[in-house]
Copies of this chain bind each other. A is one copy, B any other.
Amino acid sequence: MVIVMRPNTQKKEIEKIRRKMESLGCSIHASQGESFYLLGLVGDTSKIDPDQIKANRNVEKLIFVQEPYKKVNRLFQPLDSVISVRDQSVGGKKLAIMAGPCSVESEEQIITIAEQIKESGASFLRGGAFKPRTSPYSFQGLKEDGLELLKLAREKTGLPIVTELMSAEYVEKFVEDVDVIQIGARNMQNFDLLKEVGKTNIPILLKRGMSATIEELLMAAEYIMSEGNEKVILCERGVRTFEQYTRNTLDLSAIPVIKKLSHLPVIVDPSHAGGLWWLVEPLAKAAIAVGADGLMIEVHNDPANAKCDGQQSITPERFKSLMDTLKAIANIENREL
C-alpha cells in the first residue's frame, strides 16, 4: 500500500499518519517525489482499513500494490483447486458441463431433459426451483416442489443437481437436498447470504454480478471462504454495458484473468450472457477455447412453451451436436468432456 500525501501537507501531519501506520504493525518507506510525498507500507497491511486512510484530508490518494483477497489468491495457493461433487468434479482436466431448464416445471419435463442431457455427456443437472424475476408478476418457480422433482431426476440419472438459493431461510434444506448451491448474479453481494453458505461444506457456484468487477467477484468468494467453506466455483455470465442487442456482454477475458489471480475453477454461462438461443453455441465454443473449466447451459425440450427463458434455451438436439464440437475443441486444449 502506498499513501500519497497532498502537496504542501505539514510535516507534523505526515508524522501523525506515519506513527499510526507503524502502530498497526507496518514499517514505512518514505520518499519525497517531484510534487508528492509518498509513504510505502511494508508488512501485513491486512488489518488496515483503507477507508480510514482515505478519510484523512491530507491524503491525496491510496495506491494498492497487493490484491485485497487472500484465500482465493493464487499467490498463496499456486495449484488449481479441484472441487469434488459426488462422482464428478469441477476444475480438473475434465470439463464440467451443467445443463437443464431455466426452471423445473414438472416431473416429466425435468426427467426427460435430465436423461437427454446425460446421454449427450452433461455431468450436472441444473434447474431453478426458486426463481429471481425482475417482475413480481412473473412465474416465481415451483419452490420446494421443484427441489423434490430435481431429487427425483437425480435418482433416475445419477446427475448431481445445481440450483439457486435466494434466501438464508432455506440454507439447511438446500444442504440436505442439493449437490451444488448456486448464488445468483443479483445476490453476489448479498453478504449475509454469502456468510450463511460459507458456514456449510457444500460446493457453492458463485455467479458474477452484472456490474461486478473481477476483484469484487473474488472478494465475494473470499466472504464464503473466510467462513470456512473452500469449495467455491466461479461463473462468468456477462456484465452490463451500453450494448443493448445482447442482454449482457459476455466477458471472456475474465476467464484467463481469474485463472491468473485465483486458484478457483471458473465456468461460463452462455445462455444468460447473450439472452438469445442462437448465441449459445458460438459463445459456448469460445468459452471452452478461452480456457473455462466448464459451462452452464439452459436446455429445454419445448422452448416456445418454457415457463421462463425460452428465448435463450436450446433444444436437447442442438445440445447434443454442440457437445460433439465442444469435445473437439477441448481435445485441442488437452482437456476432456
Contact = CB atoms under 8 A, between A and B. Distances in A.
A305 B52 contact: yes
A166 interface: yes
Given A211-B240, A239-B242, A252-B283, 9 more contacts: A52-B307, A52-B310, A54-B311, A133-B191, A135-B222, A136-B226, A210-B211, A214-B243, A241-B249
Contact of A223 (B52, B136, B139, B216): B136
A31 B143 CA distance: 41
Interface residues on A, range: 35 or more
Interface in A201-256: 209-211, 213-216, 219, 222-223, 226-227, 239-246, 249-256
Contacts of A66: 33-36
A42 interface: yes
B252 A137 contact: no
Contact of A31 (B29, B240, B251, B256): B29
Nearest to A270: B253
Interface of A: 2, 4, 7, 29, 31-36, 38, 40, 42-46, 49, 51-52, 54-57, 63, 65-66, 68, 75, 132-139, 166-169, 186-187, 189-193, 195, 209-211, 213-216, 219, 222-223, 226-227, 239-246, 249-257, 260, 273-274, 277-279, 282-283, 285-291, 303-311, 313, 325, 328-329, 332
Question: How many copies of this chain does one complex carry?
Answer: 4
